Amino acid sequence: MSFHYFKAAGHATVYNKFRPKPPEELVKRIIDFLVEKNVQGFDPSESQITEATRKNKFHNVTYSVGHAEKIDCPDSSVQLITAAQACHWFDLPKFYAEAGRVLVPGGVLALYGYHLPRPRYGSTHEELCSIVEKFYCTTLRNYVLAESKEAYFGNYRSDEFCKIPFVDGPIVRDESVSTKYNATVSDLVGYVSSWSAFQNYQNQEGEEKAADILLRLEQEIMDMIHTAMPPHETHLELEYNYFLLMGRKPLL
């Protein structure tokens, strides 16, 4: 199963450190759909749950190991289900059946993800974006899983994401939200190492080759920036553009 790419404890730490956090504007956009209540988070990876629990700062949020295809909640008991950069890994028919089962009438399903990061260093922007895209689309081309392509390339536009069986009415699509982070070149390379495609490359080709392609990526970025500062002290801006799908279970 594809979730095995995220089970390792080391990967969970890298994922938490370098993956972008959902921006407040995006969270507010979802919460505006209904009043916030107690929150339960699930993930099939125990390592991810351990990391999420360690970083949790909210008294009304708890995490436990679970699967999207078998949600551990009673029928008609949940007001909101969200999946962040994740539903492309699900068995969607089974997930939709479970979501429809546990959502209350009028409950909301919100699915969202984000594009590849868009780095900027001063006026150097498109060139850096091209380096990241080339690394993903060329260097890792043979290691990118089909599920990842649904997020980074398809942006959840195919019918399997846009036609939710229990939703009576159009799916709301919102691409107005983006967020920017101050990061270093080392942070950007760390983010790249959290990609399932990179993890797949590392599993197949070994750690030495994987470390080498990251080093070459880092050097290509530094050569484009033209700075004497080391990568961990070279600050740039990372922009993430989000796409959000929302649907509501009928009241009757």
Query: Tell me, what CATH number does 57's domain have?
Result: 3.40.50.150
174 is a domain residue:
yes
28 is a domain residue:
yes
Structural domain range at position 57: 9-249
120 is a domain residue:
yes
Instruction: Give the pLDDT of the chain (252 residues) as one tens digit per residue.
Output: 555 666 666 788 888 888 888 888 888 777 765 555 688 999 999 999 999 999 998 778 899 999 999 999 999 999 999 999 999 999 999 999 999 999 999 999 999 999 999 999 999 999 999 999 999 999 999 999 999 999 999 999 999 999 999 998 889 999 999 999 999 999 999 999 999 999 999 999 999 999 999 999 999 999 999 999 999 999 999 999 999 999 999 997
Q: How many residues does the chain have?
A: 252
CA distances from 244 to 115, 122, 162, 176, 178 (A): 12, 29, 11, 9, 11
In the chain, alpha helices (H): 9-18, 24-31, 46-55, 92-102, 126-134, 146-152, 159-162, 185-193, 196-205, 207-225
163 is a domain residue:
yes
Amino acid letter, 38: N
4 is a domain residue:
no
Task: Report the interhelical angle of 9-18 vs 46-55 (nearest 10°).
Answer: 40
- C-alpha 34/C-alpha 251 separation (Å) is 14
88 is a domain residue:
yes
3 is a domain residue:
no
- C-alpha 115/C-alpha 244 separation (Å) is 12
- State the total domains in the chain: 1
1 is a domain residue:
no
Q: Please tell me whether the overall predicted TM-score, pTM, comes out greater than 0.85 for this model.
A: no
